[in-house]
Amino acid sequence: MFNEARKLINTNAHIYIERLAEAVAIRSVSTDLSCRDDCFAMADLLHRWIEELGGSSDKVLVGFQELDDGSRYDLPPVILAEFSAGKPRQKPTVLVYGHYDVQPAAEADGWSTDPFTLSEVDGKLYGRGSTDDKGPILAWLWAIEIHRELELELPVNVKFCLEGMEESNSECLDDLLERESKGGFLSNVDYVVITDNYWVTTDKPCLTYGLRGLATFHCEVKAGTQTLHSGVYGGCIAEPMTDVIQLLAAVSEYGHGDIGIENCGRKSATPITEAETELYKGITFDAEAFRHEAGDVPALLGENEKEVLMNRWRYPSLSIHGIEGGYSGEGFKTVIPGAATGKFSIRLVPGQDGKAVEESVKAVLEKRFAELKSANKMTVTSTSSKAWLADPRCPLYQSGAAALLKVYGVKPDLTREGGSIPVAGLLQEKLGVETMLLPLGQSDDGAHSENEKMSKRNYLQGVQVLFTFLGEIARAHEERGDMPNGTPKRKGTLGRLKDIWYGLS
Amino acid sequence: MFNEARKLINTNAHIYIERLAEAVAIRSVSTDLSCRDDCFAMADLLHRWIEELGGSSDKVLVGFQELDDGSRYDLPPVILAEFSAGKPRQKPTVLVYGHYDVQPAAEADGWSTDPFTLSEVDGKLYGRGSTDDKGPILAWLWAIEIHRELELELPVNVKFCLEGMEESNSECLDDLLERESKGGFLSNVDYVVITDNYWVTTDKPCLTYGLRGLATFHCEVKAGTQTLHSGVYGGCIAEPMTDVIQLLAAVSEYGHGDIGIENCGRKSATPITEAETELYKGITFDAEAFRHEAGDVPALLGENEKEVLMNRWRYPSLSIHGIEGGYSGEGFKTVIPGAATGKFSIRLVPGQDGKAVEESVKAVLEKRFAELKSANKMTVTSTSSKAWLADPRCPLYQSGAAALLKVYGVKPDLTREGGSIPVAGLLQEKLGVETMLLPLGQSDDGAHSENEKMSKRNYLQGVQVLFTFLGEIARAHEERGDMPNGTPKRKGTLGRLKDIWYGLS
């Protein structure tokens, strides 16, 4: 059926692009309350398409936002939808997570085209949401549609969880996942696939099996209620900005490359294994191009490309993002802010416990603040979400790899990401099943930037990848049978794929 | 003539207020190029008034501002004006410095009245420029006018140097002062008086004999040309923000109360003398009110009111004003700026050399940056202007004190200021003559804030103070004669005043 599907995708290409254009035209910007109706419209469109394709869809309201003035705004609904395979009892269920809200966009930001009009230029489909994450969501729907058009029974049950607040911290999603995972809509899920991610390069597909977590910190020091003139008050008061600088210096004193705080540094990361080291060998990564994309920084940390990737993916890092308070504009103002807040974060890795990181950082801040003997008041607030790591040797990844190999003719790279997508860890933990990031877009798609695009090739071949993947995961599941350790009962897909990972068996 | 002048001032009060209203109505905001014509209009008004009073006035063009787009704007003129006493050869010359430009102002900033309409409420004259510095300039003119109306010869020659760029760093004033002090308009000046300053309280007049200088620093660390995502680049590059934090921490490591850099700390200040210590004894200063005005900071640095004042006036202080680059708004953004600039300044005091301070700070920054072994590039730029200190025992201060004592019935406090007015030091240095700050406004006038005001009392009594001062300085000058050390030839004003300063003789 692989070739039939490919032919059909080529025939339908203009329809898929028209539908993507229809989706991109809806300004479902979740951070902009004036676009809240558009978020609902986008949910309605997906809901209609799913039902037209024979799925069942539920738009679940999850709560509301309350502003300081007391006004309330309903949160966009989470779409919980399902496409049943013929014999649901014997077939596994794959849950697809995605989001239909988008980042803000305006032509004034530097777009070459109207961000809410899908524009094809040189084989690229430009438009806000094209790759993040409307394109990938739609590719899933067309992969299901092809089964219908080719009169094929779905090889697995496919469920969707599509939210409309991903770009706004997935507000209220936790509660829904908690509720639905316990005997609800999500209780019989066997595999989770997330297509909200990108290749490491522009030309080689990958599967992503790990993400760093994130601990965020706001460290505020307050003296008084107003901004003061340094000529009048300089020397007469303990300045909050000086305190904050000393505090930030204390947490970042190891400088670049490690973090000198207990539970936070490289030592607290899970030790690297030989198998993991092997994984890095074949990864296509151009450090020089990466350095250039970073705005021509003078150097990267890491002796070679493998070390740079490890710094990015498997080691913790501390970044200071800025200081709230004081004068941050151009030029000079001799102000003493009444309060200053240092903002920084630590990317967490497997082996690290978010709560322990938060506590250790707070202890360093408190110790340093005590040393300063400042009359001011310090307040620290923090949050943390764990790193996520899957075992890429499991059948889910082997199925993903098989699909990518068939469509692109190359073994995908096995990668991690330095960023954080908390829902991956959350779903893996709550549902207790194998979870995979299956990116359809390329490294240069510009997800949160101006001129966001998805290549026409990636969009259409993405449909083929997902169509193929559904067959592969069904076969892998069947081969795996009831073996508790996931070893396949007989040689089949997995037998063919066991050498797909460099050195892993 | 004291009483005749007082009667006349009361009679003329409404005229003086009308004229101040006329001046306040002119939007001579020097930082706002759209107001440049108004700056010229303000100069024209002063020029006309001076000539009508019998003075001679010259509007000197000092240059132009060139914008990045190549457009040029003429700088507002400096008014060099003169009122000759009858026998100029035998009478001394007093130079009055003031400025006719104002800070920006808009009702939207929180003004209770239109900032460019002088509004009298409860005996206070609200309006931009009322106290900074249009009111004090006009008070000088009316003090001269009274001599004319009372048919009195001026007791001294009075020269004016009135600039229109004071709120914009007095651009191009240096060159003019340099030129005119060498055989030009300013070459025969005997005393300099500046009325661009305020009392330390709302009810007791003062004379100000010292100002701190200022060294400013921009310390930029640059990695690349763009802002990066900490999830993608965190751990892979040396972050400029981390570098800047360590650099700022190094220069501010002594924390509050002193500066731990060679040539910059308290040790480099001129040692305090017994006479100076005595001066502080009688100064009216309410530290608790000062703490409250600072936005209720938890504590002031200093064991008692004297120490707080010393910290403010005679010791150096280092303030960190903010960081350019990164995210300084509310909330959280996981950005790594491509470049970050730390901005800080040091208030300089007598005994400190600005150039030495700049060099020492740069040395600390360079040493710390070398320790960081960062691949980034650091650039430091700095400026400095010296502290200014006059000897308040000289006849100029005694004359000022005598005038204030006559008008207000109290001995004025002898104060310094923590802020910086570079022109004071500049004039004293270039002309080599006694220089004095003679404030007419009160501590709560709000010079650069919304609702700037000058009390009607201070404006009108200010005219009386200046009228009286002109007579006092003429007499003191005559008494002083040609004695090289300034000791009076015979007992007179100075004899009466020698005990006016607490403990000084």
In a 10 Å sphere around its CB, with 0-12 CB exposed, 13-18 middle and 19+ buried, how is residue A132 labelled? buried
Cα gap A158→A93, rounded to integer Å = 6
Chain B's closest residue to A228, CA to CA, is: B294
**Pick from B329, B335, B372: CB nearest A255:** B372
Mutate to test the interface with A, among B230, B261, B336, B345 (most CBs of A within 10 A): B230
A369 touches B: beta carbon within 8 Å:
no
B264, B357 in Cβ contact below 8 A? yes
Catalytic positions of A: 101, 166
Count of CB atoms situated within 10 Å of the CB of B362? 15
Cα–Cα distance between A345 and B327 in angstroms, integer? 13
Weakest mean pLDDT among A72-81, A296-305, A396-405, B489-498: B489-498
CATH architecture of the domain covering A213-269+315-383 = 2-Layer Sandwich (3.30)
Quick one: pLDDT at residue A481?
Answer: 67
Give A93's strand partners: A157
Is the CATH number 3.30.830.10 carried by domain B2-211+388-497? Answer: no
Which residue in B212, B239, B377 is closest to A256 by CB distance?
Answer: B239
Category of A226 on φ-ψ map: left (φ > 0), alpha (ψ -120 to 50) or beta = beta
Q: What is the pLDDT of residues B309-340, one digit of tens each?
A: 999 999 999 999 999 999 888 888 888 999 99
Q: In this predicted model, what pLDDT tens digit does every residue of A341-385 receive, in sequence order?
A: 999 999 999 999 999 999 999 999 999 999 999 999 999 999 999
Average pLDDT of span A447-476: 95
Question: Least CB-CB distance to A308: which of B214, B236, B377?
Answer: B236
Say yes or no: ipTM exceeds 0.95: no
Query: Would you kindly state where each structural domain of chain B is located, as residue ranges?
Result: 2-211+388-497, 216-269+315-383
Q: What is the per-residue pLDDT for B89?
A: 62
Asked whether the beta carbons of residue A300 and residue B236 sit closer than 8 angstroms, the reply is yes
pLDDT of B185-232, one tens digit each? 999 999 999 999 999 888 999 999 999 999 999 999 999 998 899 999
- Specify whether the CB–CB gap between A125 and A135 falls below 8 A: yes
What does pLDDT average to over chain B? Answer: 92
* Domain B216-269+315-383 CATH (choose: 3.30.1360.20, 3.10.105.10, 3.30.70.360, 3.30.70.1140): 3.30.70.360
pLDDT tens-digit profile of B416-463?
Answer: 999 999 999 999 999 999 999 999 999 889 888 889 999 999 999 999
Q: Does B416 touch chain A (CB under 8 A)?
A: no
Nearest chain A residue to B265 by CA distance is: A235
Q: Looking at this protein, which amino acid is placed at residue A354?
A: G
The phi, psi pair for A161, rounded to 5°, reads -125, 105
**B502 in Cβ contact with B278 (< 8 Å):** yes
Q: Do residues B46 and B82 make contact, with C-beta atoms less than 8 angstroms apart? A: no
Helix (H, G, I), strand (E, B) or coil at B256: coil
Residue B82: pLDDT over 80: yes
Is the CB of A298 less than 8 angstroms away from the CB of B376?
yes
Residue B306 has pLDDT above 60, yes or no: yes
> For B335-353, how does the pLDDT look when each residue is reduced to its tens digit (9 = 90+)?
899 999 999 999 999 999 9
> Would you state the structure tokens that stand for residue B26, as one six-digit string?
């002119």
Hey, are the CB atoms on B347 and A253 less than 8 Å from each other?
no
Q: Which of B459, B458, B498, B494 is nearest to B474 (CA)?
A: B494
Measured in angstroms, the CA of A121 and the nearest CA of chain B are apart by 26
Q: How confident is the model at residue A503 (pLDDT cuts 50, 70, 90)?
A: very low
Q: What is the mean pLDDT of residues A39-44?
A: 98
Q: Is A302 on the interface with B (CB under 8 A)?
A: yes
Asked whether the beta carbons of B197 and B208 are under 8 A apart, the reply is yes
> Is A225 in Cβ contact with B295 (below 8 Å)?
yes
Please give the Cα distance from A105 to A209 (Å, whole number): 30
- Give the nearest chain A residue to B217 (CA atoms): A332
Nearest CA in chain B to A217: B332
- What pLDDT does A450 receive? 86
Task: State yes or no: pLDDT of A286 exceeds 60.
Answer: yes
What local confidence, expressed as pLDDT, does residue A489 receive? 44
B-chain residues near A388 (CB < 8 A): none
Of B237, B312, B324, nearest to A236 by CB-CB distance is B312
User: CB–CB of A233 and B312 under 8 A?
Assistant: yes
Contact of A428 with A189, CB cutoff 8 Å:
no
Retrieve residue B366's tokens.
């360079």
Instruction: Tell me what pLDDT residue B88 has.
Output: 55
C-alpha dihedral (A487, A491, A492, A497), degrees to nearest 10: 70
State the pLDDT at residue A486. Answer: 47
In three-state secondary structure terms, B16 is helix
| Per-residue confidence (pLDDT) for residue B505, from 0 to 100 | 36
Phi, psi of B166 (to 5 degrees): -60, -40
How high is the pLDDT of residue B86? 80
A330 touches B at CB < 8 Å:
yes
- Whether B327 sits inside 8 A of A312 (CB atoms) is no
Interface test with A, best of B237, B239, B330 (most A CBs within 10 A): B237
B224 → closest Cβ in A294, A323, A335: A294
Q: At what angle do helices A274-281 and A305-313 cross, to 10 degrees?
A: 120
Closest-CA distance of chain B to residue A340, Å = 9
A364 touches chain B (CB under 8 A): no
Q: Where does the pLDDT of residue A306 fall: very low under 50, low under 70, confident under 90, or very high at 90 and above?
A: very high
